[in-house]
């Protein structure tokens, strides 16, 4: 069984989620209220990025990997971020999800300015609104597949419903791998556990970094269907970093990065008609 001790001790990373300030809780509450206040015919902005720059320092040298990035997404949008290796896609995704801190610029997620929050406060916002699939999965090695999927629910502190986690693992084709540890799973299987984990909190926005990068054609298609079902049924906003052109073609919008700059931001042909969630 998954216990708190099981979660906290082997991976101190989770301590970041433990001490949640009341400021963040209040901010989240206000943001939720303002979300509800929106007219249902108008989809609210869920992500707004303005003049985002990220610079890494290494000794005397500075390397700017993102230059003045600005864009916004509405609730229910689907967007692919594409571009050559090293163009800044993973860095951008991490900043948008509040996993990392920008050098300058602002990021608002679900109406909350996450760039000004502390690490713990950002962790709270992520747990409440965000699903994230890491390029390298980041499963906890000491937990089984099922326990890994349950982690976000444990951190939220509410009721932990194993049934939903089992259903998600079945949907990604891992019904027979519930009690396997990450080391006992293939790369593609670990990726599917990471995808199931990202869905468990019913996120308002899902960021996925190369979510089909380790999957064969058939499994990749299943995962794509699952992602777009989430987008369609729960109005979850999708932000997908991908080299998979088939996947990028299915999103409503494609942002192309090159050397840390947006070089194009286009709507896919069949998405140019007015928004209709049933046609995506
Ligand atoms: P992509 O996902 O498009 O392949 P990344 O966002 O991972 O690109 O990386 C963009 C650039 O930032 C790369 O040149 C990479 O070497 C550099 N970079 C990423 N993380 C760090 C880091 N922690 N320190 C220094 N440079 C980094
Ligand atoms: Mg990357």
Pocket perturbation via mutation, ligand 1, pick of 69, 85, 88, 241 by most ligand atoms within 8 A of CB:
88
Q: Is residue 121 in a domain?
A: yes
Query: Which pLDDT score, from 0 to 100, does residue 271 have?
Result: 57
HSE-CB at 120 with a 13 A cutoff on CA atoms is: 10
Q: Is residue 85 in a domain?
A: yes
| CA of 103, nearest ligand number | 1
Q: Is residue 28 in a domain?
A: yes
Q: Is residue 273 in a domain?
A: no
What are the per-10-residue average pLDDT scores of the chain (280 residues)? 38 34 42 42 89 94 96 96 97 97 97 95 95 95 98 88 94 96 96 95 95 90 90 92 92 97 90 46
Cβ of 88 below 6 Å from ligand 1:
yes
pTM: 0.83
- Could you give the 3-state DSSP secondary structure of residue 107? strand
Q: Is residue 272 in a domain?
A: no
Query: Which pLDDT score, from 0 to 100, does residue 230 have?
Result: 86
Query: Which pLDDT score, from 0 to 100, does residue 4 have?
Result: 40
| CA of 83, nearest ligand number | 1
Q: Which residues surround the ion ligand 2 when the cut-off is CB under 5 Å?
A: 90
Q: Is residue 275 in a domain?
A: no
Query: Which pLDDT score, from 0 to 100, does residue 158 have?
Result: 76
Pocket perturbation via mutation, ligand 1, pick of 54, 55, 56, 58 by most ligand atoms within 8 A of CB:
56
Cα of first residue to Cα of last residue in the chain, in angstroms, is 39
Cβ of 100 below 6 Å from ligand 1:
no
What the block records as the tokens of 41 is: 């015919």
CA 133 to chain CA centroid, Å, is 6
The pLDDT tens digits for 225-259 are: 989 998 898 899 999 999 998 899 999 999 999 99
Nearest in space to 194 (alpha carbons), one of 136, 143, 122: 136
Domain with 99 in it: what CATH number? Answer: 3.40.50.300
Q: What's the structural domain count of the chain?
A: 1
Ligand 2: centre distance to CA 210 (Å) = 8
Kindly tell me the sign of the dihedral angle through the C-alpha atoms of 30, 108, 16, 141.
positive
Q: Is residue 279 in a domain?
A: no
Distance of alpha carbon 216 from alpha carbon 271, whole angstroms: 27
Ligand 1: centre distance to CA 7 (Å) = 29
CB 191 within 8 A of CB 137: yes
Dihedral in degrees, nearest 10, Cα atoms 24, 236, 93, 253: -140
| Strand order, beta sheet including 104-109 | 61-74, 45-58, 104-109, 112-113
Distance of alpha carbon 122 from alpha carbon 223, whole angstroms: 28
Range of the domain at 26: 4-267
Q: Is residue 280 in a domain?
A: no
Ligand 1: centre distance to CA 214 (Å) = 20
- Strand ranges in the chain using DSSP code E only, listed in sequence order: 45-58, 61-74, 78-82, 104-109, 112-113, 130-133, 205-209, 237-241, 253-258, 261-267
CB 205 within 8 A of CB 110: yes
């Amino acid at each position: 069984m998954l216990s708190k001790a099981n979660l906290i001790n082997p991976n101190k990373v989770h301590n970041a989620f433990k001490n949640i300030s009341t400021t963040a809780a209040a901010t989240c509450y206000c943001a939720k209220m303002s979300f509800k206040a929106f007219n249902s015919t108008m989809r609210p902005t869920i992500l707004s990025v303005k003049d985002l720059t990220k610079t890494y320092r290494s000794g005397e040298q500075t390397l700017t990997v993102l230059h003045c990035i600005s864009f916004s997404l509405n609730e229910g949008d689907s967007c692919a971020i594409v571009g050559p290796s090293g163009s800044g896609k993973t860095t951008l995704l991490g900043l948008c999800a509040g996993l990392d801190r920008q050098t300058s610029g602002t990021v608002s997620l679900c109406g909350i300015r996450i760039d000004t929050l502390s690490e713990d406060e950002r962790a709270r916002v992520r747990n409440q609104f965000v699903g994230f699939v890491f390029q390298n999965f980041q499963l906890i090695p000491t937990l089984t597949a099922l326990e890994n999927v349950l982690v976000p629910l444990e951190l939220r502190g509410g009721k932990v419903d194993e049934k939903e986690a089992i259903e998600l693992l079945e949907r990604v084709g891992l019904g027979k791998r519930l009690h396997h540890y990450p080391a006992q799973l293939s790369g593609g299987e670990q990726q599917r556990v990471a995808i199931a984990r990202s869905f468990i909190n019913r996120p308002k926005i899902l960021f996925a970094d190369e979510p089909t990068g380790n999957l064969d054609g058939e499994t990749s298609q299943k995962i794509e269907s699952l992602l777009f079902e989430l987008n369609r049924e729960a109005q979850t906003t999708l932000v997908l970093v991908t080299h998979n052109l088939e996947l990028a073609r299915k999103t409503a919008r494609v942002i192309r990065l090159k050397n840390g700059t947006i070089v194009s931001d286009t709507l896919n042909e069949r998405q140019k008609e007015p928004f209709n969630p049933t046609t995506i």
